[in-house]
Structure 1
Amino acid sequence: MLARNLGYHRVLLERNGYPEECYFTFSYSPIRDESGGIGGVFTAVTETTQQVLSERRLDTLRELATSAYDAQTAEDACQIAARVLEKNTADIPFALLYLLDSDGKQARLVGVSGFVDGAPISPPPINLSTLDEQDEVWPLAQAVHTGQAAFVTKVAGLFGPEHLPAFPNYEDAIDRVPTRQSALALPIIRPGQKEPYGLFVAGISPILQLNEHYQGFFTLVASQVAAAVANVHAYQEARAQADALAELDRAKTIFFSNVSHEFRTPLTLLLGPIEDALADTDHVLQARQRERLEIVRRNALRLLKLVNILLDFSRIEVGRAQAVYEPTDLAALTTDLASIFRSAIERAGLRFEVDCPPLPEVVYVDREMWEKIVLNLLSNAFKFTFAGQITVALRSTGDQVQLEVADTGTGIPAEELPLIFQRFHRVHNTHARTHEGTGIGLSLVQELVRLHGGTVQVESALGQGTTLTVSIPPGTSHLPADRLRAARKLQSIGSDTAYYIEEAQRLLLESETNASATKVQATHQSQRSAPLRPAS
């Protein structure tokens, strides 16, 4: 017959002047007599009190930590903690959780566990600044003032035995304890913190010794509650900061919208007379005057393009971008838009390929938004491509319609790729036809594509080129039903075609002028450095 261990046994052991909760394991082994039979039983008794209590308390601390993630407010954190402590009345017969106000002069009761309903627990709230500690129900002011635990005895005398929790199977033992029950009042405070968040009143079990392990457990519980409250405060502060930043962003958007509107009207009025003067055949301008007006017109168009982009952004951000999704022959529309750039691209010595075969089905898009998407992508490709080709391709992959704009330009450094769709981000130290711009073109493309339920992806290698891929789903299930073939309530910002073409032609002209100036300068330099022939 083998020895058997029957596990932990709870025993109320009278060894410190009162019945104490103890745990033992009993291991039984047979004792053989002279005949080889079993003449007796050897019982090995091992005390496991500290092990059992440690495991029980560790379970409580672990649940306090995991449950704290559900708290949205400091009150939630305390109420969740009270529910967890309710499961371990063996170590904490009752608990009260108080929160202090901002100046620490008032304590509000926000969490309770272990008390029988109807118990006169504590007057909520407690004014700590005027309360006489001799009349205080709990020594809260003392705990706040010292930052240390305060001991309370004869708790039953404060509330009456009928209001305190009962211990199953322990009634006789508890009745034999003269003080009935005691308690500790601890500050809820994090290490290194000066002012506590609140106070934790914890009942002490009458059948456990208040040794350093037990008192350490109370301190850990208070610290766990403090951590939960601190996390809630941090979350609330972060949320308040995020709300403040969002409000600031909304104010900025409204400002941009208002300023853009104020700029757009005078710019439009300015461009009208300038274009009339340039087109006037009855009063032809002198060459010098025409050149000056052309400069004014180009820069006015450039500014108007920027204003329109800012208006697009502001409308998207405040939710006023009113897309009108219409059934569209996307291949024909994309081909027409791409062809606008052909003259400038081929004049720059680049090959231009447009591969947009008819799609198997009609695609619903906002045509003005699609125009901005295509023109922005082509404009970007033109700015950064000096040799090779630019390709525009459109095709259906079944569940997506994909537009690809690829170039053999300067490419984008790998570390810049995650940032190129961020508003106002510009790639620095790269070869381009111009370093002007605001860095919001691709960001606008991304926002417009999102309004179509799509995505934008980029692939690039430095010195080899860049491919931008726009993917949108076909059909209408992903689009808001009220915007299908709807009428526009806001005035359309209008087509940007002229602005993009004007910009491309200006960049091309500047490149040609710079190249010519460089050639002339090189010729002069060569002539100055050539040796003089001796006179004959």
Structure 2
Amino acid sequence: MDSLTERKKDALAMNVFAGGGEMGELMRSHDWSQTPLGPVENWSPSLRISVSTILASRFGSVLFWGRDYIELYNDATVFIHAVKHPKALGQPARENWAEIWDVMGPMFDQVMTTGEVFFDEDRLWPLFRFGNLEESYFTFCYSPVRDETGTIVAVLSTVTETTKQVISQRRLTMLRELATAGTGAKTLRSACLAAADTLNPYDVPFALIYQVNLQGNSAELVASTGLPPESAAAPPTINLTEHLSGWSLVDVLQSREAQLVTDVVDCFGSLSVEPWGESPHSAFILPILSGNKEQVECLLVAGISPRLEFNAEYRSFLELVAQQVESSIATAQSYEQERQRAEALAELDRAKTAFFSNVSHEFRTPLTLILNPLEQVIAQTHSSLLPEQREQLNIVQRNAMRLHKLVNTLLDFSRIEAGRIQAVYEPTDLAAFTADLASVFRSAIETASLQLIVDCPPLTFPVYVDREMWEKIVLNLISNAFKFTFKGEIAVSLHPVGDKVELKIQDTGTGIAPEELPRIFERFHRVRGVQVRSHEGSGIGLALVQELVHLHGGTVEVASEVGVGTTFTVSLPTGSSHLPTEQISDMGTLVSTSVGAAPYVEEAQRWIPQEEQGSRGAQESVDTRSSVLDTRTTRSARVLLVDDNADMRDYVARLLSKHWQVKAANNGAAALAAVGEQPPDLVLTDVMMPEMDGFQLLSALRANPQTKGIPIILLSARAGEEAAIEGLQAGADDYLIKPFSARELVTRVDSHLQMARLRSELSSNRFKDELIATVTHELHTPLVSILGWTRLLRSSQLDRTTAIRALDTIERSAKNQAKLIEDLLDISTIISGKVCLNREPVKLTFLLKEVINTILPDAKAKNIHIVELSDATSAQRDISVLGDDKRLQQIITKLLDNAIKFTSKGGRVEVRLDAVDPSASPGGGAAQTLGVNAERSRSIDSWATIQVKDTGIGISADFLPHVFERFTQAEVPSTARRK
């Protein structure tokens, strides 16, 4: 009977605890009679069903039965119980979860009493699971369990641990905040402070950031969090020269590797820190590298939470923190460097202004003593001076006025900066005043074939402006528009817009690149790389405009599009409430130094190329009717003068025209075109010019084989040895610094012309020597052959066959001599410049076939195949160009002869004729390529290429640069010696 009873009990237990994995097996073997629940056979049906249900569930489930909340749980909650397992099975929850029972118990009681479900998400439950109190988070639901009568008898907890998710999200948020915390930091210290304030105490209960000094022997505390300033764990400085007790910064500094410190309490005692009020037992020291990663700049000491395990994830997180602090420091240092650079530039800007202002102040007295007597001399001697003398005095007066204008502008800047300029704001009919100022430019603008549009309708109210300042604003803006406008129009408009009046200066000029717009109002800044009438100017006109507009309480803006034009907009408030009351009067203590509109207009007129003014062109030759320095270099010697300053161009041309033929150009591009038409004997060029400057012109001339030998003298206002060296290193023959004496200029030009003539003579003599040596060598062999065979023929001892062979040899040798002589005469004619080409339509397709047919017998004799190639388009039509029929035939013949000569038997020579798109330039490759240019018409191609390609012995890479030099022979195998 007892045995049967035991078997029934076992069967019952097997049914209740069926399956269930580890916990099912544990429950089946557990002695329930020793628990408050008693033997399984005494359990109520609701308890048995509930236990069976949680064991079958794969979701974390815990059953708290009865008022003692006896705990039963499944496999999914074993990890949650950790060290409490398996002792917690069948025991009261009060004992199992004593550390949180003060919160958990009331929750259970509420569910048991009210029957309401309790749900919480990511709830912090600090648990003792691995020997210490641990920070852990859970999402759970407490539900009531009823028996057969409907009475609540237990609480069912379904639970999921979310510790990893909560901590990961928290750390991610902190890293994100850390990335933005240092955004506004401008120094290393501020970046470190911002980073320290961002660290959350849950993951970093305390942090110390030490900056390593430049010598690397000391570290200073620059930021901290979590520890009081007087804490022993946060010393203000740490000696890095030796290993001392405390933080082991030396090891990290030397190894540049992070290090874990596990004896924090032993070193510094208990550190009571937030958020738990418990002392961390360990800390992690990480190096923070400099921007270039070459040295340790700071050291981060990060405390490790006493309630978290220091695992791989924790370590990676702290390394990311260090990297983010490193990034914030680098950003702050970049800002600091940029600030220092900006301050240095601003200081340099101020120094420039101060220097020029001081110099300008000293210039005013001598300028006054130049301008006033000069004006009197011009007036008193007008009728007695020669036209050339009057023009020279006018040049002096114009440039003295230009210097006076610059001096006054710089003085205005110094007064504005010092706050000593006092504007006099008067009620002004601004529309009429602006229209009058714009109209003074009409003549210059229309002379340049531009249109001036003035749209300034009358205003119904006066505008308070300083008249002299407004004059400078308008004149500078119109002058600037004219300088960069070559076609179209310049529009000046003034209209009321709301409570403001708006001035617009709009042009259809070259425009300003977007990257240049932010700097357009900077002092001494000039836009580079755009087409401009002249490079003259100090780069301060627009900066002065901005300063003067600001003195009126207004704003100036610019909008521009490259190739379309530019618009400057000046907005001034109406009324006078925005202006200082004491300056609204008839007089000012220091007024702006105005010089009127004349200097602006005269300067603008000098920017207009002379061909636009209806007089001689910018490149027109200047007469030569004066004495000479050397009869060998006069008349025939041609000098190309290049300068964008009209006065300087006229002055130098007048000096040089007494001795040589002079041609003038106003920029490098025009000069290069003039050289292409007729190469000069010497080029005298300014350095700073629009479109193409002097260095670019120099580079272009030196790169062209036909012009690389022309003497080039650079003129520049840049003084000093470095400037001269730069010019000479660029390839100039001489460098002359402005101002220069007329005698020095003429002497240097003459000297270089003489040297060029001597070089030409030496080159001519060398050519003669080469010609004689070549003729002697090349004619010697065939002459010996001719003379030898002639003697044999005269002896009458030859049979008929041998005699015919002798005659053939003599004829062949004579033809070769005639061909050689013809080639040498051609070279002589070309070098002497006496060759004359007849330009007429030539059908290259027909000409090429004719040459191939002529040379084909020689090719067949050597068993060489000549193949004609062409693309589909070229093959369907005749290709014609403008050229000299005989010379083109000669060129093609020479190319084919050369290819056949150095191609072995059985080889191949390919000939290709193609028409080339006019936008593409003809080019060559490894083969010999001839590019033929022609004027465009209906039947004439712009470009055609003839390419001759062989499978011969080839030419070494070393010799390729010399392959077209006369009398030069490549070293080739003796079996195919080139002649």
1:75 maps to: 189
Out of 122, 138, 141, the position equivalent to 1:8 is 122
Distance in 2 (alpha carbons) for counterparts of 1:306 and 1:344: 21
AA aligned to 1:59 is: T
Q: Percent identity?
A: 51
CA distance in 1 between counterparts of 2:479 and 2:147 reads 103
How far does residue 236 in structure 1 lie from its aligned partner after superposition?
1.7
Q: Residue deviations 1:358-413, cap 9 Å, x none?
A: 43222211111111223334445666778887665444334122334566xx5334
Aligned-pair CA distance for 1:290: 2.1
Question: Cα gap change, 1:294/1:97 in structure 2, threshold over 3 Å: closer, same or farther?
Answer: closer
User: In 2 relative to 1, CA 209–311 (structure 1 residues): closer, same or farther, beyond 3 Å?
Assistant: same
CA distance in 1, matches of 2:347, 2:208: 39
The 8 Å contact of residues 67 and 80 in structure 1, kept in 2 or not, is answered as yes
Which of the numbers 119, 135, 142 marks the counterpart of 1:21?
A: 135
Q: Deviations over 1:443-488 (max 9, x none)?
A: 4334322332223456778898776543311122333445333854
The secondary structure found in structure 2 opposite 1:186 is strand
- Residue 372 of structure 1: aligned partner: 472
The answer to whether the aligner puts 1:49 opposite 2:163 as a matched pair is yes
Aligned partner (choices 221, 237, 248) of residue 109 of structure 1: 221
Match of 1:137 in 2: 246
Contact 2:193 2:224 (C-alpha < 8 Å) held by counterparts:
yes
Equivalent position to 2:264, from 155, 161, 167: 155
- Give, in whole Å, the separation in 1 of the partners of 2:365 and 2:256: 66
Residue 512 of structure 1: how far off its partner (Å) = 6.4
- Find the partner of 2:408 among 280, 299, 308: 308
Q: Paired residue for 1:455? A: 555
Give the match for residue 389 of structure 2: 289
How far did residue 322 of structure 1 move? 3.5
1:342-381 correspondence to structure 2 within 5 Å: 356-380=456-480
List aligned pairs for 1:238-249, cutoff 5 A: 238-249=338-349
Distance 1:489 1:11, change over 3 A: same
Distance in 1, matches of 2:289 and 2:308, equals 26
Say if 1:250 and 1:318, in contact at 8 Å, map to a contact too: no
Query: 1:213-292 counterparts in 2 under 5 A?
Result: 213-280=313-380, 284-292=384-392
Compared with structure 1, are the counterparts of its residues 219 and 454 closer, same or farther at alpha carbon in structure 2 (3 Å cutoff)? same
AA of the residue aligned to 1:144: L
Q: Secondary structure at the match of 1:271?
A: helix
Give the counterpart of 1:62 among 176, 182, 186. 176
- Assess, with a 3 A threshold, how the Cα gap between structure 1 residues 340 and 93 changes in structure 2: closer, same or farther: closer
CA gap of 1:42–1:251, structure 2 versus 1, over 3 A, is same
Q: Quick check: 1:100–1:107 contact (8 Å CA) kept in 2? A: yes
Distance 1:478 1:292, change over 3 A: same
Is the contact between residue 513 and residue 561 of structure 2 (CA under 8 Å) also seen in structure 1? Answer: no
CA change 1:222–1:502 in 2 (3 A) is closer
Displacement after TM superposition at 1:190 (Å):
6.4
- In the alignment, the residues of structure 1 paired with residue 448 and residue 171 of structure 2 have an alpha-carbon distance, to the nearest angstrom, of 78
CA–CA separation in structure 2 for the residues paired with 1:372 and 1:139: 68
Give how far 1:203 is off.
2.5
Larger radius of gyration: 2
Partner amino acid for 1:66? T
Q: Is the 8 A contact 2:212 2:219 kept in 1?
A: yes
TM-score, normalization: structure 1?
0.78
Task: Give the Cα separation in 2 of the matches to 1:78 and 1:463.
Answer: 49
| C-alpha contact (below 8 Å) 1:149/1:185 kept by paired residues | yes
Compared with structure 1, are the counterparts of its residues 146 and 384 closer, same or farther at alpha carbon in structure 2 (3 Å cutoff)?
closer
**TM-score scaled by length of structure 2:** 0.45
Specify which of 518, 526, 529 is matched with residue 425 of structure 1.
526
How far residue 16 of structure 1 moved from its aligned partner, in angstroms, is: 3.7
Residues 63 and 35 (structure 1), Cα distance of their counterparts in 2 relative to 1, 3 Å cut: same
Q: Structure 2, unaligned stretches of length 5 or more?
A: 1-114, 622-979
1:120 aligns with 2:211: no
Change (3 A) 1:249 1:355: closer
Name the stretch that deviates more: 211-220 or 324-333: 324-333
Match for residue 509 of structure 2 among 386, 411, 421: 411
Closer/same/farther in 2, CA of residues 49 and 354 from structure 1, 3 Å limit: closer
Matched residue, 2:273 = 165
Moved more, 346-355 or 256-265: 346-355
Shift of 1:276: 0.7
Measured in 1, the distance between the counterparts of 2:503 and 2:238 equals 68
Q: Which residue of 1 aligns with 2:289?
A: 189
- Bigger Cα displacement from structure 2, 104-113 vs 344-353: 344-353
Question: In structure 2, what is the Cα distance between the partners aligned to 1:297 and 1:103?
Answer: 63
Aligned-residue offset at 1:31: 7.4
Question: How has the CA–CA distance of structure 1 residues 468 and 492 changed in structure 2, closer, same or farther, with 3 Å as cutoff?
Answer: closer
Cα distance in structure 2, aligned partners of 1:465 and 1:224: 46
| Distance in 2 (alpha carbons) for counterparts of 1:469 and 1:290 | 42
Q: Of residues 303, 325, 333 in structure 2, which corresponds to 1:203?
A: 303
**CA 1:107 to 1:358, structure 2 compared with 1: closer, same or farther past 3 Å?**
same
Amino acid at match of 2:207: A
Secondary structure of the 2:273 match is coil
Coordinate RMSD, CA, aligned: 4.1
Kept after mapping to 2: 8 A contact 1:253/1:317: no
Work out whether residues 262 and 283 of structure 2, in 8 Å CA contact, stay in contact via their aligned partners in 1. yes
Contact 1:68 1:81 in 2 (8 A): yes
Matches within 5 A, 1:74-93: 74-85=188-199, 87-88=200-201, 90-93=202-205
The 3-state SS of whatever aligns with 1:69 is coil
Helix, strand or coil at the partner of 1:197: strand
SS of equivalent to 1:202: strand
Gap change, CA 1:421 and 1:148, over 3 Å in 2: closer
- Alpha carbons of structure 1 residues 478 and 7: separation in structure 2 relative to 1, 3 Å: same
Residue 329 and residue 232 in structure 1: after superposition, are their counterparts in 2 closer, same or farther (change >3 A)?
same
Alpha-carbon separation, structure 2, partners of 1:357 and 1:426? 33
Counterpart of 1:151 in 2: which secondary structure? Answer: strand
Separation of aligned partners in 1, 2:181 and 2:594: 55
For 1:462 and 1:235, how far apart are their aligned partners in 2? 32
| CA positional deviation for 1:514 | 4.6
